[in-house]
Structure 1
Amino acid sequence: MRVTDTLKVNYDLIEGIAVITLNSVETLNALDSELIYELNQVLDKIENDSKVKIVLVTGKGKAFSAGGNVKRMGDRTTLETIEIMSHATRVITRITEMKKVFISAVNGYAMGAGFSLALACDIIVAQKNAKFGLSFINVGLVPDCGLLHFLPKIVGPWKAKELIFSGAVITAEEAFQYRIVNRLVEENEALSEGLEFAKKLAVEPLQAMTLVKTIIESSKNLDIKGTMQYETLAQSVLQQTTDHKEGLQAFKEKRSPIFTGR
Structure 2
Amino acid sequence: MLNQISVFSIFIESLSNLLALTCASVYIEYVKGKNLLPVNIKIKVSTMKFQLNLVKSILAVAGVAAVSAVSAAPASAFSFGNIVGGDTPGDAYVNSFSFDVIDQGSSVLFNIVNSGDAAASDMFISKVFFDDNEFLSGVANIYNNNDVAFSGGASNDQLPQGGNGFTTDYAFSRNTGAGNKWGIQGGETLGLSFTGDYNNVISGLTSGALKLGLHVQALPNGASDSYISSSSSSSNTQDTPEPLTMLAAGAAVGFGTMFKKQRAQAQKAE
TM-score by length of 1: 0.23
Structure with the higher strand share, 1 or 2: 2
The structure with the larger Rg is 2
Larger relative contact order, structure 1 or 2 (CA cutoff 8 Å, min sep 6) = 2
TM-score by length of 2: 0.23
